Structure 1
Amino acid sequence: MRVLVWHVHGSWTTSFVAGPHEYVVPVVPERGPDGRGRARTWDWPGSVGEADPAELARLAADGGIDVVVLQRPEEPELLHRWTGLVAGRDVPAVYLEHNAPTGPAAATRHPLADLDVVADGTVPVVHVTAYNALMWDTGDARTLVVDHGIPDPGHRSTGELDTIAAVVNEPVRRWRVAGTDVLLEVARHVPVDVYGMGVTGLGNHRPPVPGAPPLRLYDDVPQAAMHDALARSRAYLHPFRWTSLGLALLEAMALGLPVLALPTTEAPVAVPPTAGVLSSRPETLVATARRWLAEPDEAREHGAAARAHVLQHYSLDAFLHRWDAILTEVTS
């Protein structure tokens, strides 16, 4: 089938477009949020094509869109404005919610919960974690969970560098949500390499301390190069207080890195005790990081368990099979 899907989250979309369908991603001249087009830092197959609003209108008029995967509250209106189609009425649709609620954790009403085609179950709301599904108030909407699935990057971990790696996008803007203060606290005691979008400004928030371990910042590194770099670090730090399940965490585990994380949202499910250490006490994360830097064999053992867990619970095949079942159901 031909699937219309906006390029919202690059890593998730990379997994999604690995399926057997034809995928159309909107593109606008400035490649802004409403039309980023094909990814430039991920490797997408030839089955993913770009279409500007005029091309989407022609596709819609010819009945060339089989199903729409919506991911932002504004996309139903955008779809109608560009194509004349009403999601759930003129074209089958699902709404994919990537995030945990940003308001009161257990009382935030989902922005699409009261949309007619969502409230009556025509357009299901699909969550990427069971925790997110539990916390969002979606009213009478039909809700489903499709756990993440990632392409296996291979067991590349060498742990050759005495550093802890982290991937955090926009750590300054997302300060407490992203656990940036936790990251900087760990970085006071052990060397940390930080990857992600908008990380260079982080250096301005670390006061100079004589003899402090290095904090190295790598902005917007392409995925393949980032995987190679992550694999050289001894362990992976996931400092987020409140987030959906970051795909970078699963990718690091699949590379064979052990994990240091806060026991929040979906992390206790994604990171079993054999795969690393979860603690609400930053000093415990620091102590474990120091131990792993001194004892690479222990880190390697936890890293092997982390990889095994991801391959078993977050396989790409299982992810694509589940999505195929949902797309087939809503289109029939």
Structure 2
Amino acid sequence: MRILLWHVHGSWTTAFVQGRHEYVVPVLPDRGPDGLGRARTWDWPASVVELPPEQLADPRPDVVVLQRPDDLKLLEDWTGLRAGVDVPAVYVEHNTPRGDVDEWRHPLADQTRVPIAHVTHFNRAMWDTGRAPVHVVEHGVLDPGPIWTGELPRLSMSVNEPVRRWRVAGMDLAARLAEQVPVDVYGMGVEGLAARDAAFADGRHEDDLPQHQLHQRMAQHRAYLHTYRWTSLGLSLLEAMVLGSPVLALAATEAPTAVPPEAGLVTADVDLLAATARRLVNDPAEAAERGRAARDHVLAHYGVQRFLTDWDDLLEGML
């Protein structure tokens, strides 16, 4: 199968392109958002080919994976193909809706030709998808092995643009924990954290690491902290768990489903999160035990082979 998709979410795409198909990603000279091409900080197989817009239609894709409302127009402008009319297409909804709850109507809600595939059941429950066909294909993550050591008595986080997305990512809550347990933050745009809140001044913040280096950093920390108030499900949470790291998560969005009790703690009580963080920092044996439970859960529920099989079933059913 020849699959056309945009490089939008690096971690999700890294799992998606591990399948047995040929994957075509648009590339533009500036490698901007509409044409990032192949990943530079993730490892992708040779089956992922980057092509400029004028070459996307020849040979014609068997199916198109859309991920943003503008992708429908880009597809038609660049290839002359209409999604769901001239070529089978599916829209992957990575994000939770924004704005007032009464405004949570999906951009594709009023059509039936392009199914919407949500990445979590939480997403499906939150969006008003109208008449559109709806599926849920839950996340899958690659397994780098049980590399967690927990040697650093610190917490780790992986958050892109934490200063700009301050309350969405729950960085104000993370700052409360950082006053009691050191928190190191990794991701794009992390350099302004200490200036935004002095609680992060003692943390080590590294920007835009390659995925394998990011995993090595996360694996050294005693536990992983996930404070998102509003997101579908941060893939970095699952990635931390598959490394063998225990996790401390705010009880919001899909986190209560993704994290079993034995893997750490999921709660809306930030004081309890802080107390548990202090306990894990002082008890490496408990942290290791909870990390093993976290890894077992992710391998059982979010393994990449299950993810790829679910996607094959959905895409092949559209042909």
TM-score by length of 1: 0.94
For the pair 1:72 / 2:68, whether they are aligned, the reply is yes
- Distance across 2 between alignment mates of 1:110 and 1:95: 11
The Cα shift of 1:103 comes to 1.9
Instruction: Specify which of 196, 200, 204 is matched with residue 191 of structure 2.
Output: 200
- Distance across 2 between alignment mates of 1:111 and 1:88: 15
Paired residues, number = 319
Alignment of 1:95-174 (within 5 A): 95-105=91-101, 107-114=103-110, 119-120=111-112, 122-174=113-165
In structure 2, the residue corresponding to 1:330 is in which secondary structure? coil
Query: Where does residue 258 of structure 2 map in the other structure?
Result: 270
- Distance across 1 between alignment mates of 2:99 and 2:20: 37
In structure 1, the residue corresponding to 2:56 is in which secondary structure? helix
Q: Which stretch of structure 1 is more off in the superposition, 162-171 or 103-112?
A: 103-112
Structure 2 gap segments, 5+ residues each: none
The Cα shift of 1:148 comes to 0.3
Query: Would you say the 8 A contact 2:194–2:201 is kept in 1?
Result: no
Query: Where does residue 319 of structure 1 map in the other structure?
Result: 307
For the pair 1:41 / 2:24, whether they are aligned, the reply is no
Query: Would you say the 8 A contact 1:261–1:279 is kept in 2?
Result: yes
Query: Where does residue 2 of structure 1 map in the other structure?
Result: 2
- Distance across 1 between alignment mates of 2:109 and 2:37: 28
Structure 1 gap segments, 5+ residues each: none
Instruction: Specify which of 263, 285, 289 is matched with residue 301 of structure 1.
Output: 289
For the pair 1:181 / 2:172, whether they are aligned, the reply is yes
In structure 2, the residue corresponding to 1:218 is in which secondary structure? coil
Q: Percent identity?
A: 60
Assess, with a 3 A threshold, how the Cα gap between structure 1 residues 72 and 213 changes in structure 2: closer, same or farther: closer
User: 1:168-223 CA distances to partner (integer Å, 9 max, x unpaired)?
Assistant: 11011111111010111111111111001101111111237xxx982111111110
Query: Would you say the 8 A contact 2:108–2:132 is kept in 1?
Result: no
Query: Where does residue 208 of structure 2 map in the other structure?
Result: 220
- Distance across 1 between alignment mates of 2:263 and 2:169: 21
- Distance across 2 between alignment mates of 1:267 and 1:220: 24
- Distance across 2 between alignment mates of 1:205 and 1:328: 48
Alignment of 1:17-96 (within 5 A): 17-57=17-57, 59=58, 62=59, 64-96=60-92
Tell me the amino acid that sits aligned with residue 238 of structure 1: H
- Distance across 2 between alignment mates of 1:45 and 1:105: 40
Tell me the amino acid that sits aligned with residue 193 of structure 2: L
Instruction: Specify which of 218, 224, 227 is matched with residue 236 of structure 1.
Output: 224
Query: Would you say the 8 A contact 1:189–1:213 is kept in 2?
Result: no
The Cα shift of 1:106 comes to 6.4
Query: Would you say the 8 A contact 1:156–1:228 is kept in 2?
Result: yes
Assess, with a 3 A threshold, how the Cα gap between structure 1 residues 128 and 106 changes in structure 2: closer, same or farther: farther
In structure 1, the residue corresponding to 2:168 is in which secondary structure? helix
- Distance across 2 between alignment mates of 1:281 and 1:198: 28
Query: Would you say the 8 A contact 1:191–1:213 is kept in 2?
Result: no
TM-score by length of 2: 0.98
